[in-house]
């Protein structure tokens, strides 16, 4: 056995303070020649105020052990079957009291990162609290529970793992991030990384399966289908038009010999990506020969959208100031693994809502401002996918009317619904309640003229029940109400 | 939206109830150009996923 497992210790403690200390700790695992995802993991922990790192020895990680069984153990000169788990705490832990942490010490937990004993791709399953810089950003976070020598700990963050270049490639790492998010939310059962590799159909590629050369989109789609997360695929060259979203103009002259890739100019990708991030679903980006996952977004000081990525070449929580200025620009495709019965796209739901809001406003004297706002863009639509249960729970915070709450909570809705809100931008900027209309659509509907389930307009909320029952209405306030979204 | 008087709010609700009672009719009354714009956009959503370019679909990422 290589000297990877310490025979006498369950763990050891490190207290890096300076940049040099952290770099030294990283270099023990990466060789220190160039910046690796492990350096980014340490940066995130450090920015979160990490004061104690506990390195759990001889950790049996379900993912790494599956990789070891399927691949590494078959090599002539193979690796250790054990991983190490790094735990990060913002508190100064007493090395002799790790078996019985105080409440305060448990609260200071910043997350964990599993380190594999493989030559490339040291970082295995990792969930870290986001760095303070991302406070207020929309993130596709999960809650993970950890047993730390019998102490139950919790961490809220986005999952990350790195490819190892031989068995797991970036496509597997990206698929795993999407999968682990769904598994931790209870949408699907948990599958190991080796199972994800095993689900990749070799027949769809001319290459041999191992060492892996990566996956094409067809293979990724099969993997996501088998994980019960069939993915929507958008090619950047043919993004859909949505009324109310500005149409970008191609920089090409009409008779240009070669087209400028849409990944260099098509701003519609931003609204498409944000619809799914707002819904809590990670978005896989294909860019030339690489795949990575967008896990969040926020606005910069000038109101421009910035994305947050988990890129296995970079590490967790990479901030991308613009999709047009990224080291993999131009991006080629967008893949969003979704629950199987979400047939309706966010774009269709949003387009239909725009049509409905405008039709009502155009025919109502008191709502002419709304019609104009929808046409000129001072009212913008924001669209998210929610479970019916989470929507019904959230409306309790948004309405002051018990009659409307009763109407909405008794509405018969499918498991997943698209919620489209009309936002008055001026009110958003003033941080006031900004929603002036909302529409709810059945996620199992088709993209063509999807039927309406609920419509909330100033002064009235209307529920359209299934089975051709008559609509049910309730009067309400004509004032704007709050949004379901954190950032909008 | 400007603050509404009680009477204006009552008229608003009366109108919304009328529009809500026959959704197809309400949508059908939008002007023809706007309706066509919505149908074109809807078609672009359906087409978008059929028209992923071969190059984009076959890219190998890894």
Q: Mutation test of the interface with chain B: which of A360, A365, A456, choosing the one with the most B Cβ atoms within 10 A? A: A360
B54 pLDDT tier (thresholds 50, 70, 90): low
Please tell me the distance in Å from B42's CA to the nearest CA on chain A. 6
Per-residue pLDDT at A130: 98
CB contact under 8 A, A458 and B12: yes
CB contact under 8 A, B9 and A478: yes
**Closest CB to B44 among A240, A359, A370:** A240
Interface of A with B in 179-238 (CB under 8 A): 205, 212-218, 220, 232-238
CB contact under 8 A, A471 and B44: no
Digit-by-digit pLDDT tens for chain A (488 residues) are 456 899 999 999 999 999 999 999 999 999 877 889 999 999 999 999 999 999 999 999 999 999 999 999 999 988 899 999 999 999 999 999 999 999 999 999 999 999 999 989 999 999 999 999 999 999 999 999 999 999 999 999 999 999 999 999 999 999 999 999 999 999 999 999 999 999 999 888 888 888 888 899 999 999 999 999 999 999 999 999 999 999 998 898 888 888 899 999 999 999 999 999 999 999 999 998 999 999 999 999 999 999 999 999 999 999 999 999 999 999 999 999 999 999 999 999 999 999 999 999 999 999 999 999 999 999 999 999 999 999 999 999 998 899 999 999 999 999 999 999 999 999 999 999 999 999 999 999 999 999 999 999 999 999 999 998 999 999 999 999 999 997 77
Single pTM value for the model? 0.95
- Residues of B at the A interface, defined by Cβ within 8 angstroms: 1-2, 4, 8-9, 11-13, 15-17, 19-21, 23, 26-27, 29-31, 34-35, 37-38, 40-42, 44-49, 51-53, 55-62
Per-residue pLDDT at B4: 84
**Closest CB to B59 among A216, A455, A462:** A216
Angle between the N-to-C axes of helices A388-398 and A402-409, in degrees from 0 to 180, rounded to the nearest 10:
180
Distance (Å) of CA A105 to CA A132, A153, A358, B21? 19, 10, 54, 59
CB contact under 8 A, A458 and B46: no
CB contact under 8 A, B45 and A347: yes
What does the DSSP assignment read for A42-103? Answer: HHHHHHTT--EEEEEEEE--HHHHHHHHHTGGGSSS---S-EEEEEEESS---GGGTTS--H
Burial class (CB in 10 A: 0-12, 13-18, 19+), A213: middle
**Closest CB to A462 among B20, B34, B58:** B20
């Amino acid at each position: 056995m290589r000297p990877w497992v310490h025979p006498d210790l369950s763990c050891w403690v490190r207290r890096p303070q300076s940049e040099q200390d952290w770099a030294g700790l990283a270099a023990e695992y990466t060789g220190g020649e160039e910046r690796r995802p492990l350096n980014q993991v340490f940066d995130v922990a450090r920015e979160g105020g990490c004061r104690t790192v506990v390195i759990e020895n001889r950790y049996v990680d379900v993912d790494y052990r599956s990789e070891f069984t399927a691949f590494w153990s078959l090599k002539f000169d193979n690796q250790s079957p054990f991983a190490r788990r790094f735990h990060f705490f913002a508190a100064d832990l007493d090395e002799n009291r790790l078996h019985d942490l105080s409440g305060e010490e448990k609260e200071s937990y910043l997350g964990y990162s599993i380190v594999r004993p493989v030559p490339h791709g040291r970082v295995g399953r990792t969930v870290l609290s986001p760095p303070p810089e991302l406070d207020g950003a929309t993130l596709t976070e999960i809650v993970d529970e950890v047993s730390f020598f019998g102490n139950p700990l919790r961490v809220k963050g986005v999952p990350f793992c790195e490819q190892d270049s031989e068995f797991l490639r970036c496509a597997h790492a990206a698929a795993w991030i999407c999968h682990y998010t769904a598994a931790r939310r209870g949408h699907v059962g948990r599958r190991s990384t080796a199972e994800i590799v095993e689900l990749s159909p070799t027949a769809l590629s001319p290459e041999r399966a191992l060492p892996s050369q990566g996956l094409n989109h067809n293979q990724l789609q099969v993997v996501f289908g088998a994980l019960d997360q069939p993915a929507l695929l958008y090619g950047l060259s043919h993004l859909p038009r949505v009324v109310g979203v500005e149409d970008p103009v191609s920089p090409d002259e009409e008779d240009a010999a070669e087209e400028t890739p849409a990944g260099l100019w098509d701003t519609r990708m931003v609204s498409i990506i944000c619809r799914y991030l707002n819904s809590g679903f990670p978005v896989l980006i294909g860019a030339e020969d690489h795949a990575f996952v967008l896990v969040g977004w926020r606005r910069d000081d000038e109101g421009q959208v910035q994305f947050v990525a988990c890129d296995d070449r970079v590490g967790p929580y990479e901030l991308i100031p613009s999709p047009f200025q990224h080291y993999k620009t131009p991006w080629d495709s967008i893949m969003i693994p979704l629950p199987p019965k979400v047939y309706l796209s966010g774009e269709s739901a949003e387009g239909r809502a725009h049509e409905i809001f405008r039709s009502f406003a155009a025919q109502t004297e008191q709502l002419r401002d709304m019609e104009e706002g929808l046409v000129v863009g001072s009212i913008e639509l924001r669209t998210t996918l929610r479970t019916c249960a989470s929507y019904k729970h959230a409306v309790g915070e948004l309405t002051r009317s018990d009659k409307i709450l009763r109407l909405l909570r008794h509405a018969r809705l499918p498991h997943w619904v698209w919620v489209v809100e009309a936002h008055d931008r001026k009110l958003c900027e003033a941080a006031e309640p900004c929603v002036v209309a909302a529409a709810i659509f059945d996620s199992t509907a088709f993209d063509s003229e999807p039927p309406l389930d609920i419509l909330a307009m100033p002064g009235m909320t209307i529920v359209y029940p299934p089975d051709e029952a008559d609509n049910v209405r309730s009067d309400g306030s004509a004032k704007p109400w709050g949004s379901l979204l954190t950032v909008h | 939206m400007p603050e509404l008087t009680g009477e204006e709010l009552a008229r608003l609700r009366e109108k919304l109830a009328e529009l809500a009672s026959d959704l197809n009719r309400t949508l059908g009354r939008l002007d023809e150009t706007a309706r066509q714009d919505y149908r074109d956009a809807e078609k672009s959503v359906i087409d978008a996923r059929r028209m992923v370019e071969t190059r984009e679909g076959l890219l190998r990422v890894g």
